[in-house]
A = this chain, B = another copy of it.
Amino acid sequence: MDDTKLTVRAVERALDILSLFTDETELSLTEIAAKTELHKSTVHRLLASLEGKGYLVRNAETEKYRIGFRIWELAANMSQSDDPGVLLQPEMERLRDSLGETISLYVRDGNERIRIQAVQSNQAIRRVAPIGARLPLSVGASSKVLIAFAEPDEQAQLLQELEWASPADRDAFVGQLGDIRRLGYATSIEEREPGAAAVSAPIYNRAHKLVAALGVSGPSNRLTLEKMKEHAMLIIEGANRMGKMLK
């Protein structure tokens, strides 16, 4: 019981309340109290603080709370850069820290993919991913993602144009695409680099266009099948978050 807490409970509670508004657009005090399992008295004070500072606004008609203008002010300030590689780096670092493995960001460029950003694992044995590397679209988890989630016509064209080592390779690749779309992520084990495995998920921008693939990769003995499934969830989550940062 000595989990030394370096955080402030009241603040965490307030922020949790604020986070509720990522799902719902309007919430009443009692709804919030129910969702957070806090006493309405406590919620009332926290809401007053949030409202007083402009982070929530009260809809005079419905009496419910909505997100306030402060959020816009903050959001307006963050979008200085449009470059996903720059924009997403901090989030990728977060992800690296929680997964402990190298995180890469790929965009498709014609019939290739480019690693436009990467943050390296800091474990002794790690996958090192050079930024700027151009890689084939025919192998690797992120390649599958970039193809599986491409627009149908683009996808068809890519599958025509791309070259595989053998027709069997091609069929194996194509055969996976359906599952990948269904699961929302792709994996690869020792496909391009011996000893390396990866999990990848698509990043859609706010306009719902596929813009990149986000991947985690590491030594295949550390990325067991089980671990990969766990990582997949976090990669998908992270990719969704990041997508909201891109217009």
| A residues with CB within 8 A of B | 6-8, 10-12, 14-16, 18-19, 21-23, 25, 44-46, 48-50, 52-55, 57-60, 66-78, 80, 90-91, 93-94, 119, 206, 241-242, 244-245
Whether B244 pairs with A73 at a CB distance below 8 angstroms is yes
Whether A91 pairs with B69 at a CB distance below 8 angstroms is yes
Distance in angstroms between the alpha carbons of A103 and B8 in the assembled complex: 39
Whether B11 pairs with A50 at a CB distance below 8 angstroms is yes
User: What is the distance, in angstroms, from A54's C-beta to the closest C-beta of chain B?
Assistant: 8
Query: Chain B residues near A44 (CB, 8 Å)?
Result: 6
Set B11, B70, B78, B241: member contacting A19, Cβ < 8 A: B70
Set B67, B76, B78, B245: member contacting A77, Cβ < 8 A: B67
Distance in angstroms between the alpha carbons of A53 and B75 in the assembled complex: 16
Whether B25 pairs with A242 at a CB distance below 8 angstroms is no
Please state the number of chain copies in the assembly: 2
User: What is the distance, in angstroms, from A83's C-beta to the closest C-beta of chain B?
Assistant: 15
Set B6, B74, B93: member contacting A21, Cβ < 8 A: B74
Whether B241 pairs with A46 at a CB distance below 8 angstroms is no
Known: A57-B90, A57-B91. 19 other contacts (CB 8 A): A7-B52, A10-B10, A11-B49, A12-B53, A14-B15, A15-B49, A18-B70, A19-B74, A21-B74, A21-B77, A22-B74, A58-B90, A67-B74, A67-B75, A67-B77, A69-B245, A72-B244, A72-B245, A74-B75
User: What is the distance, in angstroms, from A27's C-beta to the closest C-beta of chain B?
Assistant: 12
Query: Chain B residues near A67 (CB, 8 Å)?
Result: 74-75, 77-78
Whether B73 pairs with A241 at a CB distance below 8 angstroms is yes
Whether B46 pairs with A8 at a CB distance below 8 angstroms is yes
Query: Chain B residues near A77 (CB, 8 Å)?
Result: 21-23, 25, 67
Distance in angstroms between the alpha carbons of A86 and B60 in the assembled complex: 13
Whether A19 pairs with B80 at a CB distance below 8 angstroms is no
Query: Chain B residues near A49 (CB, 8 Å)?
Result: 7-8, 11-12, 15
Whether B71 pairs with A11 at a CB distance below 8 angstroms is no
Whether B6 pairs with A8 at a CB distance below 8 angstroms is no
Provided the pairs A7-B45, A22-B77, A80-B25 are in contact, do residues A90 and B59 lie with their beta carbons within 8 angstroms?
yes
Whether B22 pairs with A206 at a CB distance below 8 angstroms is no
